[in-house]
Protein backbone atom coordinates (compact mmCIF):
# COMPACT_ATOMS: atom_id res chain seq x y z
CA UNK A 1 0.00 0.00 0.00
CA UNK A 2 1.18 3.51 -0.84
CA UNK A 3 0.24 6.09 1.80
CA UNK A 4 -0.44 9.61 0.57
CA UNK A 5 0.11 11.63 3.71
CA UNK A 6 -2.97 13.75 4.47
CA UNK A 7 -1.89 16.27 7.06
CA UNK A 8 -4.61 18.84 6.48
CA UNK A 9 -3.49 21.00 3.59
CA UNK A 10 -4.93 21.80 0.12
CA UNK A 11 -5.80 19.43 -2.68
CA UNK A 12 -4.37 16.00 -1.90
CA UNK A 13 -7.17 14.10 -3.53
CA UNK A 14 -5.57 14.45 -6.97
CA UNK A 15 -2.36 12.70 -5.87
CA UNK A 16 -4.35 9.77 -4.49
CA UNK A 17 -6.61 9.53 -7.54
CA UNK A 18 -3.69 9.73 -9.98
CA UNK A 19 -1.96 6.85 -8.17
CA UNK A 20 -5.18 4.82 -8.27
CA UNK A 21 -5.46 5.61 -11.97
CA UNK A 22 -2.09 3.95 -12.65
CA UNK A 23 -3.12 0.88 -10.69
CA UNK A 24 -1.54 1.54 -7.30
CA UNK A 25 -3.08 0.52 -3.99
CA UNK A 26 -2.96 4.10 -2.71
CA UNK A 27 -4.90 5.87 -0.03
CA UNK A 28 -4.98 9.14 1.84
CA UNK A 29 -3.71 8.49 5.35
CA UNK A 30 -4.18 10.75 8.36
CA UNK A 31 -2.97 8.36 11.05
CA UNK A 32 0.83 8.05 11.55
CA UNK A 33 0.47 4.44 12.73
CA UNK A 34 -1.34 3.51 9.55
CA UNK A 35 1.22 5.40 7.44
CA UNK A 36 4.04 3.51 9.18
CA UNK A 37 2.62 0.25 7.80
CA UNK A 38 2.71 1.44 4.19
CA UNK A 39 5.18 0.05 1.66
CA UNK A 40 5.81 3.50 0.27
CA UNK A 41 5.04 7.12 1.12
CA UNK A 42 3.93 10.06 -0.99
CA UNK A 43 4.41 13.47 0.61
CA UNK A 44 2.42 16.14 -1.22
CA UNK A 45 2.59 19.80 -0.30
CA UNK A 46 0.85 22.99 -1.39
CA UNK A 47 0.91 26.44 0.14
CA UNK A 48 3.78 27.88 2.14
CA UNK A 49 6.78 25.98 3.48
CA UNK A 50 6.05 27.08 7.05
CA UNK A 51 2.38 26.12 6.92
CA UNK A 52 3.19 22.70 5.46
CA UNK A 53 5.98 21.94 7.94
CA UNK A 54 3.91 22.90 10.96
CA UNK A 55 0.88 20.97 9.72
CA UNK A 56 3.11 17.95 9.10
CA UNK A 57 4.68 18.15 12.57
CA UNK A 58 1.28 18.66 14.22
CA UNK A 59 0.03 15.54 12.49
CA UNK A 60 2.94 13.53 13.90
CA UNK A 61 3.61 12.27 10.40
CA UNK A 62 7.17 13.62 10.18
CA UNK A 63 8.36 10.55 12.13
CA UNK A 64 6.96 8.36 9.38
CA UNK A 65 9.25 10.11 6.91
CA UNK A 66 12.39 9.67 9.01
CA UNK A 67 11.51 6.00 9.48
CA UNK A 68 10.90 5.59 5.74
CA UNK A 69 14.34 7.03 4.98
CA UNK A 70 15.98 4.82 7.64
CA UNK A 71 14.23 1.71 6.29
CA UNK A 72 14.88 2.57 2.61
CA UNK A 73 11.17 2.72 1.88
CA UNK A 74 10.30 4.48 -1.39
CA UNK A 75 9.34 8.09 -0.75
CA UNK A 76 8.04 10.58 -3.29
CA UNK A 77 7.94 14.26 -2.30
CA UNK A 78 5.90 16.60 -4.46
CA UNK A 79 6.31 20.40 -4.69
CA UNK A 80 6.49 21.72 -1.11
CA UNK A 81 6.74 18.05 -0.16
CA UNK A 82 10.09 18.17 -1.98
CA UNK A 83 11.16 21.47 -0.41
CA UNK A 84 10.33 20.23 3.11
CA UNK A 85 13.09 17.61 2.77
CA UNK A 86 15.59 20.45 3.27
CA UNK A 87 16.36 22.00 6.62
CA UNK A 88 14.98 25.46 5.89
CA UNK A 89 13.43 27.76 3.32
CA UNK A 90 13.79 31.43 2.59
CA UNK A 91 9.98 31.47 2.41
CA UNK A 92 9.57 30.79 6.14
CA UNK A 93 12.70 31.88 8.03
CA UNK A 94 13.20 30.15 11.36
CA UNK A 95 10.98 27.19 10.50
CA UNK A 96 12.91 23.92 10.63
CA UNK A 97 12.32 21.60 7.70
CA UNK A 98 13.00 17.87 7.79
CA UNK A 99 16.74 18.19 7.14
CA UNK A 100 16.87 15.04 5.02
CA UNK A 101 18.59 16.77 2.09
CA UNK A 102 21.52 19.19 2.12
CA UNK A 103 21.14 22.51 0.41
CA UNK A 104 18.79 25.44 0.50
CA UNK A 105 15.30 26.44 -0.59
CA UNK A 106 15.40 29.94 -2.01
CA UNK A 107 13.15 32.29 -3.92
CA UNK A 108 13.99 31.79 -7.58
CA UNK A 109 16.36 34.54 -8.76
CA UNK A 110 14.55 35.09 -12.05
CA UNK A 111 13.27 38.02 -14.07
CA UNK A 112 10.24 35.90 -14.95
CA UNK A 113 6.97 36.21 -13.03
CA UNK A 114 6.63 34.50 -9.69
CA UNK A 115 5.15 32.05 -9.11
CA UNK A 116 6.16 29.97 -12.07
CA UNK A 117 2.67 28.68 -12.79
CA UNK A 118 2.81 26.83 -16.07
CA UNK A 119 3.79 23.75 -17.98
CA UNK A 120 7.51 23.58 -18.59
CA UNK A 121 9.79 21.16 -20.41
CA UNK A 122 12.40 19.21 -18.46
CA UNK A 123 16.00 18.57 -19.35
CA UNK A 124 16.97 15.14 -18.07
CA UNK A 125 20.52 14.86 -16.77
CA UNK A 126 21.06 11.09 -16.73
CA UNK A 127 18.68 9.73 -19.37
CA UNK A 128 20.34 6.31 -19.48
CA UNK A 129 20.18 5.57 -15.78
CA UNK A 130 17.24 7.60 -14.42
CA UNK A 131 14.36 5.34 -13.42
CA UNK A 132 12.13 8.41 -13.41
CA UNK A 133 12.83 9.60 -16.92
CA UNK A 134 14.57 6.80 -18.83
CA UNK A 135 13.57 6.48 -22.49
CA UNK A 136 11.19 9.44 -22.56
CA UNK A 137 10.97 11.61 -25.67
CA UNK A 138 11.28 15.37 -25.33
CA UNK A 139 7.55 15.87 -26.04
CA UNK A 140 6.81 13.60 -23.07
CA UNK A 141 8.81 15.79 -20.69
CA UNK A 142 6.31 18.60 -20.13
CA UNK A 143 5.14 18.94 -16.52
CA UNK A 144 3.04 21.42 -14.55
CA UNK A 145 4.75 23.70 -12.04
CA UNK A 146 3.36 26.06 -9.38
CA UNK A 147 6.08 27.58 -7.20
CA UNK A 148 8.00 30.71 -6.29
CA UNK A 149 10.71 28.98 -4.25
CA UNK A 150 12.96 26.21 -5.47
CA UNK A 151 15.40 23.69 -4.05
CA UNK A 152 19.12 24.24 -4.51
CA UNK A 153 20.88 21.01 -3.51
CA UNK A 154 24.59 21.34 -2.74
CA UNK A 155 26.54 21.29 -5.99
CA UNK A 156 23.55 22.45 -8.02
CA UNK A 157 23.03 20.51 -11.24
CA UNK A 158 26.35 18.73 -10.62
CA UNK A 159 24.79 17.05 -7.60
CA UNK A 160 24.32 13.42 -8.72
CA UNK A 161 20.84 13.23 -7.17
CA UNK A 162 19.49 15.91 -9.51
CA UNK A 163 17.57 14.03 -12.20
CA UNK A 164 16.10 16.89 -14.21
CA UNK A 165 15.90 20.66 -14.41
CA UNK A 166 13.86 23.22 -16.29
CA UNK A 167 14.59 26.71 -17.51
CA UNK A 168 12.71 29.57 -15.88
CA UNK A 169 14.99 32.52 -16.46
CA UNK A 170 17.72 30.28 -15.04
CA UNK A 171 18.14 26.62 -14.19
CA UNK A 172 15.57 25.24 -11.75
CA UNK A 173 15.95 21.81 -10.16
CA UNK A 174 12.83 19.93 -11.23
CA UNK A 175 13.41 16.45 -9.84
CA UNK A 176 15.79 14.45 -7.69
CA UNK A 177 16.29 10.72 -7.58
CA UNK A 178 18.48 9.23 -4.87
CA UNK A 179 17.88 5.53 -4.36
CA UNK A 180 14.50 5.21 -2.68
CA UNK A 181 14.05 8.97 -2.38
CA UNK A 182 12.30 10.61 -5.33
CA UNK A 183 11.06 14.18 -5.37
CA UNK A 184 9.61 16.56 -7.92
CA UNK A 185 9.15 20.31 -7.91
CA UNK A 186 6.37 19.89 -10.49
CA UNK A 187 3.03 18.20 -9.89
CA UNK A 188 2.94 14.79 -11.59
CA UNK A 189 -0.67 14.42 -10.49
CA UNK A 190 -1.53 17.50 -12.58
CA UNK A 191 0.70 16.80 -15.56
CA UNK A 192 -1.65 14.73 -17.67
CA UNK A 193 -0.29 11.59 -19.31
CA UNK A 194 3.35 12.55 -18.63
CA UNK A 195 2.60 12.82 -14.92
CA UNK A 196 0.70 9.55 -14.85
CA UNK A 197 3.64 7.88 -16.61
CA UNK A 198 6.02 9.14 -13.93
CA UNK A 199 3.71 7.96 -11.12
CA UNK A 200 3.45 4.62 -12.84
CA UNK A 201 7.25 4.36 -12.79
CA UNK A 202 7.23 5.18 -9.08
CA UNK A 203 4.64 2.47 -8.44
CA UNK A 204 6.70 -0.05 -10.41
CA UNK A 205 9.79 0.97 -8.44
CA UNK A 206 7.89 0.46 -5.14
CA UNK A 207 6.82 -3.01 -6.24
CA UNK A 208 10.41 -3.83 -7.18
CA UNK A 209 11.65 -2.74 -3.75
CA UNK A 210 8.97 -4.73 -1.97
CA UNK A 211 9.90 -8.01 -3.68
Q: Write out the residues near another protein by the rule CB under 8 A.
A: 10-11, 13-14, 17-18, 21, 46-48, 113, 115, 117-119, 121, 139, 142, 144, 146, 189-193, 195-196
| Helical (H) or strand (E) element with 41 | strand 40-43
Q: Pick between residue 161 and residue 191 the one whose CB is nearest to another protein.
A: 191
Closer of 146 and 204 to another protein (Cβ): 146
- For the bound state, the minimum distance from the C-beta of residue 199 to another protein, rounded and expressed in Å, comes to 9
Between CA 210 and CA 155 the distance in angstroms is: 32
Active site residues: 79, 187, 189
Residue 107: which of 59, 53, 169 has the closest Cα?
169
Residue 137's CB is within 10 A of a number of other CB atoms, namely 6
Q: Residue 23 or residue 47: which is nearer to another protein going by CB?
A: 47
- Give min distance, CB of 83 to another protein, in A: 13
Q: How far is the CB of 96 from another protein (least distance, A)?
A: 21
- For residue 63, the minimal CB distance to another protein (Å) is 25
Residues 158-162: contacts with CB under 8 Å, at least 24 apart: 159/103, 161/101, 162/125
Task: Please say whether the beta carbons of 170 and 63 come within 8 A.
Answer: no
Which residue lies nearer to another protein by CB, 10 or 159? 10
Query: Can you list the alpha helix ranges (DSSP code H) found in the chain?
Result: 13-21, 32-36, 49-59, 62-70, 80-83, 192-210
Amino acid sequence: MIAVLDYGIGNLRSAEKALLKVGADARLVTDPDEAALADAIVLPGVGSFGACVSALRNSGMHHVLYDAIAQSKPLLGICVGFQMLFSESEESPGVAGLGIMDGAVLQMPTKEKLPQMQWNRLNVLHPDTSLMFRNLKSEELWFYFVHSYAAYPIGGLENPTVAAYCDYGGDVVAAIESGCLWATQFHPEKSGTSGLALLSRFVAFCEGVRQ
